[in-house]
Structure 1
Amino acid sequence: MKRILNKLFSKLVLGGLIIILQFSWFVYLLYSATVYSSMVDALFKIASIVLALFVSSRDMRSTYKTSWIFLILALPLFGIPAYYLFGRPGLTKRTRMKMDVVSSRIRAYSSPSDDVMSALRAEDDSAGQQAQYLTRYAGYPVYREADTQYYCCGEEMYPQFLEDLKTAKSYIFLEYFIAEPGKMLDAIVEILAQKVKEGVDVRFMYDGIGCIQTLPNKYYCYLQEKGIKCACFQPFRPLMSIIQNNRDHRKITVIDGKVAYTGGMNLADEYINARVRFGYWKDAAIRLTGECVWSFTSMFLELWDYILKIESDYTFYRATSMEKHRLQEKIHADEKGFVQPYTDSPLDHEDVGENVYLNIISRAKKYLYIFTPYLIIGSEMRTALVNAAKSGVDVRLVVPGIPDKKLVYFLTQSNFPYLIKNGVKIYTYTPGFIHAKCFVSDDVQATVGTVNMDYRSLCLHFECGVWMYRTRAVLQVKEDALKTFAESHEVTLEEFQRKSFLVRTFMGALKLFAPLL
């Protein structure tokens, strides 16, 4: 009973109710105006048509347009205000301008290496095209591999993660969507507090919505008392605002500019299976060393400076990073791979995360293996997967066997029939929930990061990942995929067809609103 009451009176539920009341009141005012004035009603209908035409002309994916146009024309009293609040994919112009200033300052310290790009193009021009795209449109260069280590689950990564934190001498940066007190976070905070006493600069950044139900009130005060600097990205406020649409979904740890981590794992006990929520929680992380760590350092500082309205000493961090990596160059001189960290932002209207995926799909020749917790894709991604399968590529996707969100899982399943009929193999992870976001293809390229295969992750959130070509981790991802297939169940078309007519109809109706969820 206490747990139920806590959820009912949580900040998210109460704040959500306040927003719903505001929205309902706004819709009621519009309804009243249309009922009591035929002129207002006519103007409102004209406005819905004009807005639908405007949405149709916007430079955005067709599935997203279709969903909003249907809602605006079918239910204008609801659709018009809803589009104003949630339909615009970017942040406000003022917010974009502020972040652009920070971005332009820090990008000056991430000049691409022509030698590395030339070496990659000489080895594989197709891979060079992917790297060129990321350099131009994500703003982060490609690097020679120093070392990449892939972890197939949280409990495998966690001990090394703690050891790396203990080695910090200068600074530790952490940026996570979700953090929750427990075995994992408490142990990390204990190390961070000790590092502060040793003079290490420790900074922790978290998302306002991601942590609204997991962090206690004023948890940042608890951390600040230990000397840990904190920043919250867009704290939740119970006001109707487009800014609530864009979240910091990235997962980044940087230690001394020497070691970086990214992947699907947040800082909560289910990610290391110290707590069971949806069966076994399978996730993925990657540990990187070398000059590429600077890209994650700059990603963190860019958002940190924006939130706190400061300007960090980028020269210091860049020089410190370069000094450390010169010492490592000889150690890893035999490595032949390439790595390229990247970030995706709703500011630039460039869907970097999705385009990385599409480029990998289109260039696959023998096989393409994918881990994703959600499969809510538009026609572009669906067509690319099907075309690859029709071309003889062994395309396999693994989705959860035990979902975390039932409604979203219905949408995921609604994509199964078309994909399976056209040669794509779908597996459900029998032991539980798979939260990893990984692509691997042909033993040569892979990406590990935070980008889900759903609209919010591909278009609305701040995301990150690392693309790799012929690194050690590429084959580690493949090995993990093969083991995961053996533990999973391959879905057949007959299974879907055995679902009741009502369930299949419900799934079909949900697809119309998929981009809005």
Structure 2
Amino acid sequence: MGAMTSTALHQTSKPEVVRASKHSRLRRWATTWGRAAIIALAFSVQMLLLVAVLTFLTEWSSAILAAQSVLAIIVMLFILNGRRETTYKLAWIIPVLTLPLLGSVFYLFYGATVMTRSQRERFDAATQRARDALRLLPPTHLPPGEVPSPVRRQLTYLESISQYRVFDATDTAYYPVGELGFDAMIEAIGRARHYVFAEYFIVAGGKMLDRLIDALAAKAAEGVDVRFLYDDLGSFFTLPVNLKERCEAAGIAIIPVNPVGLGFTITFQNRDHRKILSIDGRVAFTGGINIADEYINEIVRFGHWKDTVLRLEGPGAWGLAVMFLQMWELASRAQVDYASFLPATQDALEARPVEDAKALTHVPAVEEPERGHVAPFDDTPFDDLSLGSDIYQHLMQAAKHSVDIFTPYLVLSDSMVAQLAATSRSGVRVRIVVPGIPDKWYVSLATHSYYRPLMEAGIEVYEYTPGFIHAKSMLVDDELGLVGTINFDFRSFYLHQECAVWMHQSAALAELRSDVEATVAVSRRITMEDLTDTTMVKRLLQAMLRVFAPLL
């Protein structure tokens, strides 16, 4: 496929390519600033209506106010009948009731998760094909007594909701910083024989991107199928202007996900926040890192940037390959033949002998008990629940001794606060590590507003002193854990496409435990005295941000 893309590019004249690139950038800028202009226009009209009613249109004020009230009621009913957290609904109802016209337009563009009929049909069909593809591998049977009943219940819930399955015989490796994880990713790309799939939320120019593109281009030159997905809005201000042409010239097929277009699609906020690298369906990586130099500390933005990467090798890697292919089908609108990407199918189609056994697997096998079980899964905003939030809560409910959490953002629903508090009050030690140097001051203030109720329940809150922690993980009793892209905030739980890997008794959990202790050791524990040493203005701002936290 990469070779075909490259050939098609060379058949297009350079001026046409330049014009196409400029047109694409114009569409993206027009859409982003166009939305801002529409919101500004709605705000202006709202203000003018208020002024006009008070000064010039007194006799029409009743009719104007009645019309706005009807609009507010309609939108409010739509919000209330949605299957979202009450906290999320309240954050939207306040602006809709206060400024009906502005609040309604703002909700339509940034709060609603609605598809057109054709979008829904295409999404459902692609999802079903992906779910069917997961069954192309033999199922993992868990005899009674092999896993505790709380763990089995988690797997039952996970499989019934997402249809993603548990896999055994899968090796796991955990990398506590982005630099180590990225080195492992490049090394794995170098061993690819059939295909390499990459999917990232943020793609920015720099050393990290150059190194990745060089590695992908080298494999494409060997005839390997190389594909690249990036989120169009997530990379809006950082994507190099010539990246598409550079990739296509190298034989790398590249497509934006949910492209920013002049259609003002109402799925504008539903971004692809996933981070996936899949090699031959046998090896896969996920975690917090995007493709930008700060993620591997090539540049300094907010002190030391701590991120993590999880590596799977074995049947469990197929789950992440399926996730990528489903998104590729949605983005490209070309139906995927999943069976052709199975590792066994790829091997059968390959004519040349395998000269180096390490090309198929290069990580030394570990003892079977250390492999445990893994369950990759994705979470979509286009259903009636938050699988990520539910799995986090299921993990906490299974805890006996400890729960450790890494998250860059802590913007919680009432139910999540209650679950964290209940876990702590049941005698489980709960520790949460958040950034010491935040990337967004307003989100940091909102995060601080949750400290008191959490700490009053006995939860230990730490700030990562060296800088910014971008990792998203949970470790429970050294037996259960999760590493992925899901933040503890409303965007990850309700608005974004996300992915993660649930683990039970995997080798990576011991590595995660070591990282937890090392990270806590260099972090500052927040005390009650820290919470009282704040100004009244800061407390008021925190209270306001807490109410509107779901909109951040």
Query: Please, which of 333, 338, 343 is the counterpart of residue 309 of structure 1?
Result: 333
8 Å Cα contact 1:33/1:41 also seen in 2: no
Secondary structure at the residue paired with 1:440? strand
The structure 2 residue matched to 1:294, chosen from 318, 342, 355, is: 318
Q: CA contact under 8 A between 1:253 and 1:262: conserved in structure 2?
A: yes
TM-score by length of 2: 0.87
Give the match for residue 514 of structure 1.
Answer: 549
CA contact (8 A) 1:144 1:338 kept: yes
The residue type equivalent to 1:415 in the other structure is Y
Equivalent residue, structure 1, for 2:246: 222
Q: Distance in 2 between matches of 1:249 and 1:160?
A: 21
163 and 353 in structure 1: CA distance in 2 versus 1, 3 angstrom threshold: same
Aligned with 1:243: secondary structure?
coil
2:507 is aligned to 472
- 8 Å CA contact retained: 1:291, 1:321: no
Tell me by how many angstroms 1:116 deviates: 2.8
Contact 1:117 1:128 in 2 (8 A): no
Q: Which moved more, 1:425-434 or 1:314-323?
A: 314-323
The residue type paired with residue 429 of structure 1 is: Y
CA gap of 1:385–1:160, structure 2 versus 1, over 3 A, is same
Is the partner of 1:261 in helix, strand or coil? strand
Partner of 1:109, secondary structure, is: helix
**2:14 alignment partner in structure 1:** none
Q: Is this contact kept in 2: 1:256–1:321, CA < 8 A?
A: no
1:281 CA drift (Å): 0.4
2:368 aligns to what? 334
Superposed CA offset, 1:20-44 (max 9, x none):
2222324445666784544233122
2:286 alignment counterpart: 262
**Alignment match of 2:34 (pick from 18, 21, 26):** 18
Q: Mark the CA change 1:121 to 1:54 in structure 2 (over 3 Å): closer, same or farther.
A: farther
Report the alpha carbon displacement of residue 250 of structure 1 after superposing the two structures with TM.
0.3
Q: Which aligned pairs between 1:274-289 and structure 2 lie closer than 5 A?
A: 274-289=298-313
Q: Give 1:160-179 correspondences, 5 Å limit.
A: 160-179=184-203
Q: CA deviation at 1:323?
A: 6.3
Q: Residues 114, 155 of structure 1: CA spacing in aligned structure 2 closer, same or farther, 3 A cutoff?
A: closer
Counterpart residue number, 1:453 = 488
Give secondary structure in 2 for the equivalent of 1:446.
strand
How many aligned positions are there?
508
Unaligned runs of 5+ in 2: 1-24, 349-356
Secondary structure of 1:116's counterpart equals coil
The answer to whether structure 1 residue 436 and structure 2 residue 460 are counterparts is: no
2:242, 2:529 → 1: CA distance? 52
Whole-angstrom CA distance in 2 between matches of 1:500 and 1:269: 36
Tell me the amino acid that sits aligned with residue 334 of structure 1: E
CA distance in 2, matches of 1:466, 1:389: 24
Match of 2:497 among 462, 466, 485: 462
**TM-score under structure 1 normalisation?**
0.93
The 8 Å contact of residues 435 and 468 in structure 2, kept in 1 or not, is answered as yes
Q: Deviations over 1:129-165 (max 9, x none)?
A: 1111111111210000420000000112222221111
1:452: how far off? Answer: 0.5
2:269 is equivalent to residue 235 of structure 1: no
- Cα separation, 2, equivalents of 1:232 and 1:183: 21
Q: Encode CA deviations 1:322-356: one digit per residue, 9 max, x unaligned.
A: 9699x879955624500000000112222111111
Quote the residue 2:451 is aligned against.
Answer: 416
Distance in 2, matches of 1:419 and 1:12, equals 41
1:425 is matched with which residue? 460
Letter in 1 for 2:34: I
Show CA shifts across 1:18-73 (max 9, x none). 32222232444566678454423312213313432442233211101111121111
- Change beyond 3 A, Cα 1:279–1:513: same
The answer for the alignment partner of 2:387 in structure 1 is: 352
Q: CA deviation at 1:122?
A: 3.5
The 5 Å alignment of 1:112-191 reads 116-119=140-143, 122-191=146-215
Per the alignment, residue 40 of structure 1 pairs with: 64
The amino acid that maps onto 1:467 is W
Q: Percent identity?
A: 36
CA pair 376-200 structure 1, distance change in 2 beyond 3 A: same
Closer, same or farther in 2 for the Cα pair 1:475/1:80, shift >3 Å? Answer: same
Q: Alpha carbons of 1:10 and 1:308: their partners in 2 closer, same or farther (altered >3 Å)?
A: closer
Q: Is the 8 A contact 1:209 1:235 kept in 2?
A: yes
Shift of 1:183: 1.5
In structure 2, relative to structure 1, the CA distance for the partners of 1:174 and 1:30 (3 Å cut) is: same
- Residues 1:202 and 2:236 aligned together: no
Q: State the alpha-carbon separation in 1 of the partners of residues 41 and 216 from structure 2.
A: 46
Amino acid at match of 1:137: I
Q: Could you tell which deviates more after superposition, 131-140 or 20-29?
A: 20-29
The reply to whether residue 271 of structure 1 matches residue 306 of structure 2 is: no
Asked if structure 2 preserves the Cα contact closer than 8 Å seen for 1:113 and 1:141, the reply is no
Return the alpha-carbon distance in structure 1 between the equivalents of residues 137 and 217 of structure 2.
38
Deviations 1:66-122 (A, max 9, x none): 111211112213212212222213444432221111111232121298963433763
Task: Please give the alpha-carbon distance, in whole angstroms, between the structure 1 residues aligned to 2:315 and 2:472.
Answer: 24
- C-alpha displacement at 1:438, in angstroms? 0.5
Q: Structure 1 residue 382 and structure 2 residue 406: aligned?
A: no
Q: Specify the structure having the higher radius of gyration (Cα).
A: 2
Amino acid at match of 1:373: P
Partner of 1:391: 426
Relative to structure 1, is the Cα distance of residues 117 and 407 closer, same or farther in structure 2, using a 3 angstrom cutoff?
farther
Q: CA 1:429–1:292 in 2, change beyond 3 Å: closer, same or farther?
A: same
1 CA distance for matches of 2:216 and 2:260? 26
In structure 2, how many angstroms separate the alpha carbons of the residues matched to 1:120 and 1:354? Answer: 28
Distance 1:112 1:343, change over 3 A: same
User: Structure 1 residue 402 and structure 2 residue 412: aligned?
Assistant: no
